[in-house]
Structure 1
Amino acid sequence: MTLLWIACCLGLAAALPAKDPPEFGDLYHVSGIIYLPYSEIEEPFEAWYNATGKESRIDYYNGQVKTFQHAFELQYGIGYKISPETTETEFNVIKCFQVNGTKTTPIYSQPIFPDTSSFKFVGMDHLKGRKCELWRNVTYGGGRKQTFSLWVTDDGDGVEPLRYEMIGVDTLLDSHFDKYYIDYDNFRKDVDPAHFHKPKGMKCVGFPGPGVEHHLLLNPIAELMHKPAHMHGLFNHFKRQHGRTYMGHENEDRRDAFVHNVRFIHSTNRAQSSFRVGMNHLTDYLRNEVQSILGHKPSPGPNGGLPFPAKLYAGVEPPENLDWRLYGAVTPVKDQAICGSCWSFASTGTLEGALFLKTGKLVKLSQQMLMDCTWGFGNNGCDGGEEWRGYEWIKRHGGICTAESYGSYMGENGFCHYNSSEQVAQIENYVNVTSGDAQALRIALFKHGPTAVSMDAMQRSFTFYENGIYYEPKCKNKAEEMNHAVLAVGYGVLQGKPYWLVKNSWSTYWGNAGYFLISTKDNNCGITSDATFVVLK
């Protein structure tokens, strides 16, 4: 039976005709979409390639970002990137950046298809309703298997590409570490040479900042054509920058997470939204690690807080802009570490603001005390909690200790200990700002200072927020869907767009020195869904 099976397999293998791998020529145009499932990206592109002329061009997001690879310029080529730039003085001004190639990192014309010389014909298939050939190349290394597949058609007028796919499997753990595919469309070989020329008269300047990332920004698709050297070099730079050392399999897992996150960051910025994302200290975090620092755990039903007194403030007109940092009511940004203690930072933040408004003195209060001592009120330390439960404990026990008197924040659960004589900020009551009412939150901020708010922070775009007004259509905004607690410290209008000014607890290495602006549109991410402030005795 075994011999018969082997014979059949050999017969099937022999039945496959000997074919030369597909070639797409030295001059072509093609468009399509890049799909990066692990990075949550679908990115349209359009490409022109001229191998003989040593030049190529790839546009992203319908031409918002244009990249040119001119291998014929200078000794080692020049790469150009043309995209909008917004600064404090300019808004969406088209700029040109360039990087000159070097002996070790030359600029080359970039094909949009893989090198097919090692691909083998594996049979006929159907894709997009068309009969096509399936070609495959399988590589092994470091306990990993990478399968590269290419679907093409040949209707007699030449080879046409349909899809290129890569699937990476860790053979030790039998798990996927990477997957992406590119769907092709509008392939043709008649190309206007003008497409390879950057706009006449446009002055190009060098990229700002360190140069480690420049080649990835100039030619992002190269990495998908199985040329990961620049990405791996960037990961090594990241580890040195943040003092991180990983061994064995953890290094591979961290690098995989880093690659997916950097792809997301670069693609999101090419899409030109109202905000920018960037690499930060979370760039090599696994998604479950990011989720572990989202510690707001909402519970159903009402709490013991008072309703917002809308009638009392009926005639109040808050100012157009407010920033409590300018008045000294906000303590420095802290880092909650890998601990779901965000609720304790939001709680102490609104208490610190209320105490400042009452006494004129800014005092740092202890998050660690709330983590250690409020378990009996339903909080769970590093495993999450709610701000109002902390308020209830403080009401019952006559105040909260300062950070200095209680001891340093540890980023871990600890033993509850305190001297009641050292407690400050006695709470009379706390108030629930009317859910979904933006004007009520503005009044609360204006009359009562920094206010604890919760939000949906699960989106990858928030993890890597850098600056601008954050707006994420994927965000949830119902109170029961909130997963992170932060501190609203103001609001304003920037270039005609209203925003909330919010303090996070992910260190000054995150966002804009630890802060972010978020759009007030559609109650984005639920900033007004579950806000509270305290009233002191």
Structure 2
Amino acid sequence: MGSHAVTASLCFLASLILCASLDAPLWSTDIAYEATGTIEMPYSEIVEPFRAYYDGKNRRSLQVYYDGLNYIYQRADQTPYGALYKVVPETTETTMNEMKCFGANGTSDEPMTSIQSVLPATDNFTNMGPDSYEGLACDRYVMKETNGYKRNTYTLFVLPPTEEMPFKVPVYFEFVGYDNLFGSHYDKYVIKYVTFKVYEDGIPEKVFEISSSYPCEMFPGPGVEADFGLRTASNPIGELLTNTGEVDRQFDKFKSVHGKEYANAAEHEQRKSHFRHNYRFVHSTNRRHLSYNVAVNHLADLSDEERTKMRGYRYTRDNNGLPFEMTDEMVTATPDTMDWRIFGAVTRVKDQGICGSCWSFGTSESIEGALFLANNSTFMTPLSQQNLIDCTWGYGNNGCDGGEEWRAYEWIMKHGGIATSDSYGQYLMADGECHFANATVGARLASYVNVTSGSQSALQTAIATKGPVAVNIDASHRSFSFYSSGVYFEPECGNGMDDLDHSVLAVGYGTINGEAYWLIKNSWSTYWGNNGYTLMSQKDNNCGVATNPTYVNIKM
């Protein structure tokens, strides 16, 4: 057939295939092909498109993710020990989304002589005979393995060769893992192949050449860390099909950094399973090169249900707060940027733990800022979240199972104040007994104010003239759990009252690279976000920052 490409369009083939081959679906390691498709990891909320080129005979491969945002080159044909390259958009203080090439050369200790296929190794698969996949007459191949408590099943659907297409065409590959130790599935991923093209004389070398417009420099980071950035974080197919053990190594590192210890082997495996899915989500999200980055943090071994427990805002009904009155003088006094941290009006970032007490942090920290300003910015008095968790049940709050700031404000006004942290005692990350009568009052409230719902100009003015403001947001998305830096914008975020599930503190606002943001203090420790803070986009009231803000008036 010469050097021309033989192409299979999977939709067209349905009418051509009449019977299934019983031959083993093995592809030669010298094959040269181009494939497109998607990687789907439902437990990690990932659907990632790819285009891949593999030239086994000439020892080079290329994967392109997210329609050209990431190019990963494996060049075993370069240098004695091979080389890896990554071309991605880079944003710095002086450039925006400029395509940049990073490279790393293999060494005798760390060779880079493996190239990456998007086809699974099928030596141990069993041909189960003809089967149908979405109307295509295929052969189905299955491999089952047991590894300790784990039972893994690999399923591959392949179109057999015909006279028109004398090669096997991958259609669908699935992995499902079940762990008997904790009695549930621990992993699932799918590769769906959309097109598959075989090159009989090899893929043209120009496909693997990096444009001279992108001069390559060494990948940032020392040694093994540089290799990791290229080998694993940038190459999800490698992690899925090659089983390099990188997830195990990163989980060990995670446990060491965060001092994680587990009760038994079953919990260890369950936590590692959560980590695996969150780890994959982090790196897939970063390959999209959004306006923000995500990172593995101390929450990476938690389940979705556990992370839900940390979002304890529960909207119920309207309250008795005063309306916000925005005068011309207030508008005039509103600067273009504000950060109350630099004035000393914000206490240190805290960690609420696995307790839905975020509302108590939003309440107490908005009062702390208001008290600081009422005292002419002379001193800061830390106030007790535990006081509110323990004592405001009679006003409709539910401790670690959620609450609302206004209910806490009402309790504080009725009972003569909120206790200082020092006098009330340590934060427990749990419900406790109310002992407010034995504590020292740190602040009293005259009233509280509802900032005009949905008005970003009103919120900006309130922050600038009244101090840090308690706000509620939709924090239900995994992207927020692992936010690290940049301006957070989540298109799936809601901004209605019923969408809000987490209480935080707005301590400022500003603009970066032309994008307006709110400066938000969270209560998930300094391991989360940018030392406990996030920049949340003001676009379209994303995630509802301006939907339900409140601040207090101090009673002196």
Instruction: Quickly name the TM-score band, shorter chain normalised.
Output: over 0.9
Report what 2:424 is aligned to.
406
SS at 2:400's partner residue? helix
CA contact (8 A) 1:80 1:218 kept: no
2:184 matched residue in structure 1: 175
Partners of 1:66 and 1:438 in 2: CA distance: 39
Distance 1:203 1:252, change over 3 A: same
Q: Quick check: 263-272 or 312-321, which moved more?
A: 312-321
Tell me which residue corresponds to 2:211: 199
> How far does residue 353 in structure 1 lie from its aligned partner after superposition?
0.8
Distance 2:389 2:329 in 1: 34
| Alignment counterpart, residue 208 of structure 1, candidates 194, 215, 221 | 221
Give the one of 17, 22, 27 matched to 1:23. 27
What is the CA-CA distance between 1:61 and the residue it aligns to?
Answer: 0.6
* Correspondence 1:8-19 to 2 at 5 A: 19=23
CA distance in 1, matches of 2:106, 2:296: 24
Aligned to 2:450: 432
Alignment counterpart, residue 352 of structure 1, candidates 365, 368, 388: 368
**For 1:280-317, what per-residue CA distance to the aligned partner results, in whole angstroms no more than 9, with x for missing partners?**
11111111111111111111x21121122246778546
* AA matched with 1:238: F
CA–CA distance in structure 1, aligned partners of residues 81 and 255 of structure 2: 29
d(CA) in 2 for partners of 1:446 and 1:315?
9
Q: 2:279 aligns with which of 262, 265, 271?
A: 262
3-state SS of 1:382 partner: coil
1:299-347 CA-to-partner distances (Å, cap 9, x unmatched) read 1x21121122246778546221111112111111111112111111111
Distance 1:182 1:105 in 2: 29
Is the CA contact 2:333–2:465 (under 8 Å) kept in the aligned structure 1? no
- Indicate which of 113, 118, 137 corresponds to 2:124: 118
Which of 300, 303, 306 is 2:322 aligned to?
Answer: 306
**Is the CA contact (8 Å cut-off) linking 2:182 and 2:267 kept in structure 1?**
no
Between stretches 322-331 and 24-33, larger displacement belongs to: 24-33
Equivalent position to 2:170, from 121, 143, 161 = 161
Q: Offset of 1:103 from its aligned partner?
A: 5.3
The alignment status of 1:98 with 2:103, answered yes or no, reads yes
What is the distance in 2 between the residues matched to 1:75 and 1:289? 49
Q: Distance in 1 between matches of 2:286 and 2:189?
A: 19
SS of 2:299 mapped into structure 1: coil
In structure 2, the CA distance between the partners of 1:210 and 1:463, relative to structure 1 (3 Å rule), is farther
Contact 1:441/1:531, CA 8 A, preserved across alignment: yes
RMSD: 2.1
Residues in 2 aligned to 1:345 and 1:316: alpha-carbon distance in whole angstroms: 30
Q: Separation in 2 of the partners of 1:90 and 1:312?
A: 39
Q: Taking structure 1 as reference, are residues 150 and 75 closer, same or farther at Cα in structure 2, changes over 3 Å only?
A: same
Deviation digits for residues 152-210 of structure 1, max 9, x if unmatched? Answer: 11333121111111111224555221111111122112322211222336122133378
Q: 1:92 to 1:268 in 2, by over 3 A?
A: same
Conserved 8 A contact 2:181-2:266: no
CA distance in 1, matches of 2:409, 2:513: 37
Per-residue deviation at 1:36? 1.0
In structure 2, the residue matched to 1:452 is 470
Conservation of the 8 A alpha-carbon contact between 1:322 and 1:492: yes
Match of 1:34 among 36, 39, 47: 39
Q: Is 2:312 the counterpart of 1:295?
A: yes
> By how many angstroms is 1:219 displaced?
2.8
The reply to whether residue 248 of structure 1 matches residue 265 of structure 2 is: yes
Identity of aligned residues (%): 44
- Asked if 2 retains the 8 angstrom alpha-carbon contact of 1:98 and 1:207, the reply is no
Q: CA deviation at 1:218?
A: 4.1
Shift of 1:88: 3.0
- Deviation of the 1:118 alpha carbon: 1.0
* SS of residue in 2 equivalent to 1:488: strand
Between 211-220 and 358-367, report the one with greater CA deviation.
211-220
Match of 2:397 among 356, 379, 386: 379
CA deviations 1:355-408 (Å, max 9, x no partner) are 111102222111111112112111122111111111111101111122122222
1:271–1:415: structure 2 CA closer, same or farther, 3 Å change rule? same
**Counterpart for residue 468 of structure 1:** 486
Residue 118 of structure 1 aligns to a residue whose secondary structure is coil
1-structure distance, mates of 2:55, 2:533: 46
Alignment of 1:315-394 (within 5 A): 316=332, 318-359=334-375, 360=377, 361-394=379-412
| TM-fit CA distance, 1:470 | 0.4
Mapped partners of 2:188, 2:502: distance in 1:
30
Q: Distance in 2 between matches of 1:105 and 1:304?
A: 66
153-162 or 334-343, which deviates more: 153-162
Deviation at 1:123, TM superposition (A): 2.0
For the pair 1:77 / 2:77, whether they are aligned, the reply is no
Code of the aligned partner of 1:254: R
The Cα shift of 1:419 comes to: 4.8
**Structure 1 CA distance for aligned equivalents of residues 350 and 117 of structure 2:** 46
**Which residue of structure 1 aligns with residue 544 of structure 2?**
526
CA distances 1:423-451 after superposition (whole Å, capped 9, x unpaired): 13211100111111111111111111100
Structure 1: which 5+ residue stretches go unaligned?
A: 1-15
Deviation at 1:37, TM superposition (A): 0.8
Query: Is residue 2:201 matched to residue 1:189?
Result: no
Name the SS of the counterpart of 1:231 in structure 2: helix
**Deviation per residue, 1:9-32 (Å, 9 max, x gap):** xxxxxxx98523332652111111
Which stretch shifts more, 392-401 or 65-74? 65-74
**Paired residue secondary structure (2:536):** strand
Distance 1:199 1:512 in 2: 35
Preserved contact between residue 216 and residue 231 of structure 1 (Cα < 8 Å)? no
Partner of 2:12: none
User: Structure 1: how far apart are the matches of 2:215 and 2:156?
Assistant: 38
In the alignment, the residues of structure 1 paired with residue 141 and residue 435 of structure 2 have an alpha-carbon distance, to the nearest angstrom, of 67
TM superposition shift of 1:97: 2.2
From 65, 72, 85, the equivalent of 2:70 is 65
Q: Are residues 1:284 and 2:288 paired?
A: no
Whole-angstrom CA distance in 1 between matches of 2:550 and 2:68:
45
> Given the superposition, is the C-alpha separation of residues 176 and 198 from structure 1 closer, same or farther in structure 2, using an over 3 Å criterion?
same
Amino acid at match of 1:125: D
**214-223 or 367-376: bigger deviation:** 214-223
In 2, the alpha carbon distance for the partners of 1:421 and 1:222 equals 58
Paired position in structure 1 for 2:511: 493
Which stretch of the first structure deviates more once superposed, 58-67 or 421-430?
421-430
C-alpha contact 2:53 2:61 (8 A) present in aligned 1? yes
Partner Cα separation in structure 2 for residue 284 and residue 217 of structure 1: 18
1:507-522 maps to which residues of 2 (within 5 A)? Answer: 507-522=525-540
Contact 1:469 1:499 in 2 (8 A): yes
What is aligned with 1:478? 496
**Separation (CA, whole Å) in 1 of partners of 2:221 and 2:402:** 40
Residue 275 of structure 1 aligns with an amino acid whose one-letter code is: Y
Q: Amino acid of the residue matched to residue 188 of structure 1?
A: K
Q: 1:487, 1:503 within 8 Å by CA — same for their partners in 2?
A: yes
Tell me the distance in 2 between the aligned counterparts of 1:282 and 1:376: 32
Q: Which residue identity lines up with residue 269 of structure 1 in the other structure?
A: N
Pair 245,72 (structure 1): closer, same or farther in 2 beyond 3 Å: farther
The question of 1:134 aligning with 2:140 is answered: yes
Check the 8 A contact 2:25/2:158 in 1, yes or no.
no
Aligned residue for 2:251? 235
Q: Equivalents in 2 of 1:460, 1:256: separation in Å?
A: 16
